[in-house]
Protein backbone atom coordinates (compact mmCIF):
# COMPACT_ATOMS: atom_id res chain seq x y z
CA UNK A 1 0.00 0.00 0.00
CA UNK A 2 1.51 3.30 -1.11
CA UNK A 3 -0.13 5.97 1.03
CA UNK A 4 0.40 9.56 -0.07
CA UNK A 5 0.15 12.55 2.27
CA UNK A 6 -1.17 15.72 0.67
CA UNK A 7 -1.68 19.16 2.21
CA UNK A 8 -5.32 20.22 2.09
CA UNK A 9 -6.35 23.60 0.68
CA UNK A 10 -9.65 25.46 0.67
CA UNK A 11 -10.31 23.81 -2.72
CA UNK A 12 -10.58 20.49 -0.84
CA UNK A 13 -13.36 21.74 1.44
CA UNK A 14 -16.06 19.31 0.26
CA UNK A 15 -13.74 16.31 0.50
CA UNK A 16 -12.65 17.40 3.99
CA UNK A 17 -16.30 17.74 5.09
CA UNK A 18 -17.06 14.30 3.71
CA UNK A 19 -14.12 12.43 5.26
CA UNK A 20 -14.44 14.42 8.50
CA UNK A 21 -18.11 13.59 9.02
CA UNK A 22 -17.68 9.95 8.00
CA UNK A 23 -14.66 9.20 10.19
CA UNK A 24 -16.11 11.06 13.18
CA UNK A 25 -19.35 9.09 12.84
CA UNK A 26 -17.51 5.77 12.49
CA UNK A 27 -15.41 6.56 15.56
CA UNK A 28 -17.98 7.97 17.95
CA UNK A 29 -21.58 7.14 16.93
CA UNK A 30 -21.79 3.96 19.01
CA UNK A 31 -20.97 5.82 22.23
CA UNK A 32 -23.12 8.90 21.70
CA UNK A 33 -26.74 9.85 21.06
CA UNK A 34 -27.88 10.49 17.50
CA UNK A 35 -29.01 13.98 18.54
CA UNK A 36 -25.58 14.93 19.96
CA UNK A 37 -23.79 13.47 16.93
CA UNK A 38 -25.99 15.45 14.51
CA UNK A 39 -25.40 18.69 16.44
CA UNK A 40 -21.62 18.18 16.49
CA UNK A 41 -21.38 17.20 12.82
CA UNK A 42 -23.49 20.20 11.74
CA UNK A 43 -21.36 22.70 13.67
CA UNK A 44 -17.94 21.02 13.60
CA UNK A 45 -17.90 20.45 9.86
CA UNK A 46 -19.86 23.47 8.62
CA UNK A 47 -18.61 25.19 5.48
CA UNK A 48 -18.00 28.40 7.45
CA UNK A 49 -15.98 26.71 10.22
CA UNK A 50 -13.83 24.66 7.84
CA UNK A 51 -13.24 27.63 5.51
CA UNK A 52 -11.99 29.64 8.50
CA UNK A 53 -9.76 26.78 9.68
CA UNK A 54 -8.37 26.15 6.18
CA UNK A 55 -7.55 29.87 5.85
CA UNK A 56 -5.75 29.98 9.22
CA UNK A 57 -1.94 30.16 8.77
CA UNK A 58 -1.50 28.45 12.18
CA UNK A 59 -3.61 25.41 11.25
CA UNK A 60 -2.71 22.73 8.71
CA UNK A 61 -4.69 19.80 7.33
CA UNK A 62 -3.36 16.80 5.42
CA UNK A 63 -5.13 13.96 3.61
CA UNK A 64 -3.90 10.38 3.58
CA UNK A 65 -4.66 9.04 0.11
CA UNK A 66 -4.51 5.57 -1.39
CA UNK A 67 -4.74 5.35 -5.18
CA UNK A 68 -6.17 8.90 -5.22
CA UNK A 69 -8.92 8.09 -2.67
CA UNK A 70 -8.96 9.91 0.69
CA UNK A 71 -8.76 7.39 3.55
CA UNK A 72 -7.90 9.66 6.49
CA UNK A 73 -6.76 13.08 7.55
CA UNK A 74 -4.68 15.04 10.05
CA UNK A 75 -5.15 18.50 11.55
CA UNK A 76 -2.44 20.28 13.53
CA UNK A 77 -2.41 23.71 15.18
CA UNK A 78 0.28 26.04 16.49
CA UNK A 79 0.30 29.39 18.25
CA UNK A 80 -3.05 30.98 19.02
CA UNK A 81 -4.89 28.43 16.88
CA UNK A 82 -4.36 25.69 19.44
CA UNK A 83 -7.62 24.72 21.09
CA UNK A 84 -6.42 24.99 24.66
CA UNK A 85 -2.71 25.39 25.38
CA UNK A 86 -1.58 28.49 23.48
CA UNK A 87 2.15 27.84 23.93
CA UNK A 88 4.29 29.08 21.01
CA UNK A 89 6.68 26.18 21.76
CA UNK A 90 3.99 23.55 21.19
CA UNK A 91 2.12 21.88 18.36
CA UNK A 92 -1.35 20.42 18.88
CA UNK A 93 -2.52 17.34 17.04
CA UNK A 94 -6.20 18.20 16.94
CA UNK A 95 -7.32 15.36 14.70
CA UNK A 96 -6.08 12.10 13.25
CA UNK A 97 -8.96 10.18 11.73
CA UNK A 98 -8.84 7.15 9.45
CA UNK A 99 -11.68 5.29 7.75
CA UNK A 100 -12.59 2.23 9.80
CA UNK A 101 -11.75 -0.18 6.97
CA UNK A 102 -8.14 1.06 7.14
CA UNK A 103 -7.69 0.75 10.93
CA UNK A 104 -4.69 -1.40 11.76
CA UNK A 105 -3.03 -0.69 8.40
CA UNK A 106 -0.56 1.99 9.64
CA UNK A 107 -2.47 4.93 8.11
CA UNK A 108 -2.84 6.61 11.51
CA UNK A 109 0.87 6.05 12.15
CA UNK A 110 1.77 7.68 8.82
CA UNK A 111 -0.39 10.72 9.65
CA UNK A 112 1.07 10.83 13.17
CA UNK A 113 4.61 10.69 11.72
CA UNK A 114 3.73 13.68 9.49
CA UNK A 115 2.66 15.62 12.61
CA UNK A 116 6.00 14.86 14.28
CA UNK A 117 7.90 15.99 11.16
CA UNK A 118 5.91 19.25 11.23
CA UNK A 119 6.66 19.70 14.95
CA UNK A 120 10.38 19.29 14.29
CA UNK A 121 10.26 21.66 11.30
CA UNK A 122 8.54 24.25 13.50
CA UNK A 123 11.14 23.64 16.21
CA UNK A 124 8.60 23.23 19.02
CA UNK A 125 9.47 21.68 22.37
CA UNK A 126 6.49 19.36 22.59
CA UNK A 127 3.37 18.00 20.93
CA UNK A 128 0.08 17.69 22.79
CA UNK A 129 -3.44 16.45 22.15
CA UNK A 130 -6.73 15.57 23.80
CA UNK A 131 -8.23 12.09 23.47
CA UNK A 132 -11.65 10.93 24.71
CA UNK A 133 -11.25 8.87 27.87
CA UNK A 134 -13.62 6.28 26.37
CA UNK A 135 -11.43 5.72 23.29
CA UNK A 136 -8.92 3.11 24.54
CA UNK A 137 -7.66 2.34 21.02
CA UNK A 138 -6.53 5.94 20.52
CA UNK A 139 -5.08 6.18 24.03
CA UNK A 140 -2.98 3.02 23.42
CA UNK A 141 -1.84 4.40 20.06
CA UNK A 142 -0.53 7.60 21.62
CA UNK A 143 1.03 5.81 24.60
CA UNK A 144 2.80 3.47 22.17
CA UNK A 145 4.21 6.59 20.51
CA UNK A 146 5.57 7.93 23.81
CA UNK A 147 2.78 10.29 24.91
CA UNK A 148 2.07 10.70 28.63
CA UNK A 149 -1.17 11.91 30.20
CA UNK A 150 -0.78 15.22 32.05
CA UNK A 151 -4.29 16.64 32.56
CA UNK A 152 -7.96 16.39 31.57
CA UNK A 153 -10.41 18.79 29.99
CA UNK A 154 -14.08 18.89 29.01
CA UNK A 155 -15.12 18.35 25.40
CA UNK A 156 -18.73 19.16 24.51
CA UNK A 157 -20.42 16.83 22.06
CA UNK A 158 -23.84 18.38 21.54
CA UNK A 159 -25.19 18.77 25.08
CA UNK A 160 -22.98 16.01 26.52
CA UNK A 161 -19.92 17.05 28.53
CA UNK A 162 -17.20 14.46 27.97
CA UNK A 163 -13.75 14.14 29.46
CA UNK A 164 -10.67 14.17 27.26
CA UNK A 165 -7.32 13.02 28.57
CA UNK A 166 -4.67 15.54 27.61
CA UNK A 167 -1.39 13.93 26.57
CA UNK A 168 2.00 15.30 25.58
CA UNK A 169 5.28 14.23 24.05
CA UNK A 170 8.57 16.11 24.37
CA UNK A 171 10.29 16.62 21.02
CA UNK A 172 13.73 17.80 22.13
Q: Which residues are catalytic?
A: 142
State the DSSP string of the chain: --EEEEE--GGGHHHHHHHHHHHHHHHHGGGS-HHHHHHHHHHHT-HHHHHHHHH-TTEEEEEEEETTEEEEEEEEEEGGGSSS---TTEEEEEEEEE-GGGTTTTHHHHHHHHHHHHHHHTT-SEEEEEEETT-HHHHHHHHHTT-EEEEEEEEEETTEEEEEEEEEEE--
Amino acid sequence: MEIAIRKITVNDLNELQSIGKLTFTETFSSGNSEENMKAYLKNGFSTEKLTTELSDPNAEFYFAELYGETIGYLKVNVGQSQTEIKDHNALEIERIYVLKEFHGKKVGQILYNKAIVLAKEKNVDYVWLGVWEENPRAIRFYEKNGFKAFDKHVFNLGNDEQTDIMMRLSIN
